[in-house]
C-alpha cells in the first residue's frame, strides 16, 4: 500500500448529491448513486490512485482491469443501517480491484472495520515486505487487516508472486546498472543511482507501476543501505 492523497469532491458527485436530496422519496445514500454519475466518480477515484487498487496495488480501470468503489468506513458496520452522508462522502471512497472471486480486498473484507487506511499515511508506517513478496506489518492491528481481513498474502492468488517479481526486477536493474557503469566499488555513485530510482518511483502520478508499494520498499532499503554501511 501507499498513501493516497484525496482531491476535491468531483463536480459530478456534488451534482448527484444535490439531485438525490431534491428527489421526492429518494434515500440520501450511496445506493441512490447510479448510472453515469457513479461511473464518473469511479473514474475520478481510479485516476486519483494512479490506476492501482488501493489495497493490493494491482492495475485497475484500464486494459480490461475492472474496478469498483469501496468505502473505507463500511456502509453497514455490524449490519447496521447506512450513514447516508458518510456513504456519499468522497473522502470515504476509494477504488479497488475485483477481489479475485472473494479472495482479497473489499470482496473478502465485506463490512469488517479496518485500522489501515491509505488516506492516513501514519497507518501505513509499520508495513514492510518480505523477500518472497509477502506484505506484513509490525503493528498487530494492521497485520490483521493485511493477512486476515484483506487477504493480501492469500496463497490462492498470485499477489505474493507478483510482488516478488516486482521487487526482484528492481534489484536486477540496480545490479546491472552498477556493473554497466563500473561503479561496484564507488559507494557515492551507487547511492546516487539508488536515489534516482527511488525518486522515479516517488514522483509517479498518472499511471503508477503495479505493486508500487513493494517497489518503493526495496528502493528505500537500497538507499538506506548506503547510509548505514
pLDDT tens, position by position, 35-92: 999 999 999 999 999 999 999 999 999 887 899 999 999 988 777 767 889 999 999 9
Q: What is the pLDDT of residue 77?
A: 79
CA–CA distance, 175 with 168 (Å, rounded to integer)? 11
pLDDT of 162-201, one tens digit each? Answer: 999 999 999 999 999 999 999 988 989 999 999 999 999 9
pLDDT of 136-157, one tens digit each? Answer: 999 999 999 999 999 999 999 9
Binned at pLDDT 50, 70 and 90, residue 125 comes out as very high
Going from N- to C-terminal start, the domains of the chain cover 11-149, 159-228
Binned at pLDDT 50, 70 and 90, residue 226 comes out as confident
Element (H, E) at 196: helix 187-202
Q: What is the pLDDT of residue 228?
A: 64
First vs last C-alpha separation in the chain:
28
Q: What is the pLDDT of residue 143?
A: 98
Amino acid at each position: 500500500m501507499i498513501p493516497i492523497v484525496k482531491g476535491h469532491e468531483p463536480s459530478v458527485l456534488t451534482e448527484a448529491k444535490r439531485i438525490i436530496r431534491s428527489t421526492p422519496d429518494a434515500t440520501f445514500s450511496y445506493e441512490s448513486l447510479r448510472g453515469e454519475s457513479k461511473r464518473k466518480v469511479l473514474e475520478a477515484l481510479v485516476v486519483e490512485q494512479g490506476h492501482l487498487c488501493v489495497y493490493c496495488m494491482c492495475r485497475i480501470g484500464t486494459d480490461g482491469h475492472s474496478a469498483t468503489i469501496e468505502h473505507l468506513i463500511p456502509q453497514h458496520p455490524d449490519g447496521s443501517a447506512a450513514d447516508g452522508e458518510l456513504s456519499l462522502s468522497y473522502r470515504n471512497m476509494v477504488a479497488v480491484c475485483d477481489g479475485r472471486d472473494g479472495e482479497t480486498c473489499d470482496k473478502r473484507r465485506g463490512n469488517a472495520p479496518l485500522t489501515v487506511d491509505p488516506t492516513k499515511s501514519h497507518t501505513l508506517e509499520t508495513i514492510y515486505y518480505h523477500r518472497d513478496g509477502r506484505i506484513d506489518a509490525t503493528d498487530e492491528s494492521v497485520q490483521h487487516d493485511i493477512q486476515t481481513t484483506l487477504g493480501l498474502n492469500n496463497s490462492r492468488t498470485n499477489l505474493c508472486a507478483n510482488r516478488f517479481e516486482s521487487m526482484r526486477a528492481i534489484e536486477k536493474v540496480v545490479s546491472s546498472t552498477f556493473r554497466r557503469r563500473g561503479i561496484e566499488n564507488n559507494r557515492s555513485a551507487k547511492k546516487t543511482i539508488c536515489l534516482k530510482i527511488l525518486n522515479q518511483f516517488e514522483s509517479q502520478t498518472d499511471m503508477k507501476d503495479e505493486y508500487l508499494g513493494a517497489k518503493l520498499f526495496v528502493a528505500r532499503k537500497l538507499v538506506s543501505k548506503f547510509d548505514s554501511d
